[in-house]
Amino acid sequence: MPRARSRYAPDRGLTGRMVTTMFLIGLLYVVFVGVLLAALRGSWPIILIITGGMFIAQFWFSDRIAAYGMGAREVTPEQAPELHGTIDRICALADMPKPKVAIAESDVPNAFATGRSEKTALVCATTGLLRRLEPEELEGVLAHEMSHVAHRDVAVMTIASFLGVLAGVITRIALWGGFARSRPGNDPAGILLLLIPLISAVVYAISFLLTRLLSRYRELSADRAAALLTGRPSALASALTKVSGQMARIPTEDLRKAEPYNAFYFMPAFSAKESLGQLFSSHSTLEQRLDQLSRISTDLSR
């Protein structure tokens, strides 16, 4: 029998955006591979092997690669009793199986979740976060991360980012792999082959924007779900304010190392302030997140 849903508040807006993003990404993927097959007819086995192999690797191993890249080290209840205790309380509230629990040795105050499903989920907090937050603030942050697992948007983000990675790899193969050596200049296939870098750039740009739009909404959704589950939106708002303020005290070099994983983190290493920067940001602004939590707090107090 399939497991019942968790007690996290369902978010139809998030579900709709995930389905739409996956559909558009899939459509881009089909068009992109179709162009490659038309241009590189003699090399179609290589294309299928590369695209298939990268998709399998991206789906099955990307969460572990990301966790490794962010320095996550799985810990036992004896090694981190307070962290495990907080996760246990959230699991009881949400009626969810307990994920793997990890700690990352980093002064950057942050947390993240990875995993294709509840069975493979891992929730990690940095030492910087554990040292700075009060217990109720930490519970709010971890409830936020657990909602990503419950709503399965971590897996969707992993798959959605695949096409952008693939476009970049295929571009390099087209430019440096020698596919065009035997193509005459007036051959339509040869002309199409020359357009591959441009097509790849367009595909990458569209997939990047789609994943960024989904990422910003899913962070707001996770804030909302965590606040409703714990019943303490003020604790999550306090954690957001504290973490955002502490980021300014972290050395820029450490923030640069964390920046590639912004889409996974509770709070981005660098927050965009200009409107153009916000378009490419993986998170909504701090003001937007605090405003949402303030409205939830008002609704809950009625």
Strand, helix or coil at 106? coil
Amino acid at 12: R
Residues 115 and 122: their CA atoms lie apart, in Å, by 6
Residues 6+ apart with CB under 8 A from 300: 228, 231, 233
Residue of 118, 145, 253, 274 marked catalytic: 145
Query: Is 145 tagged catalytic?
Result: yes
Residue 108's nearest CA partner among 262, 296, 250, 256 is: 250
Residue 228, Cβ density class (10 Å: 0-12 exposed, 13-18 middle, ≥19 buried): middle
Q: How far apart are CA 36 and CA 50, in angstroms?
A: 12
Q: Take residue 263 and report the two structure tokens written for it.
A: 């889409």
Structure tokens at 15: 């579900």
Residue 203 CB-half CA count within 13 A: 30
Residues 6 or more apart in contact with residue 64 via CB below 8 angstroms: 114
Rounding to the nearest 10 degrees, give the CA dihedral for residues 180, 53, 30, 17: -140
Residue type at 186?
A: N
Q: What b/e sequence results for 108-131 when a residue is b if at least 16 CB atoms lie within 10 Å of its CB, and e otherwise?
A: bbbbbbbbbebebbbbbbbebbbe
Residues marked active site are found at 145
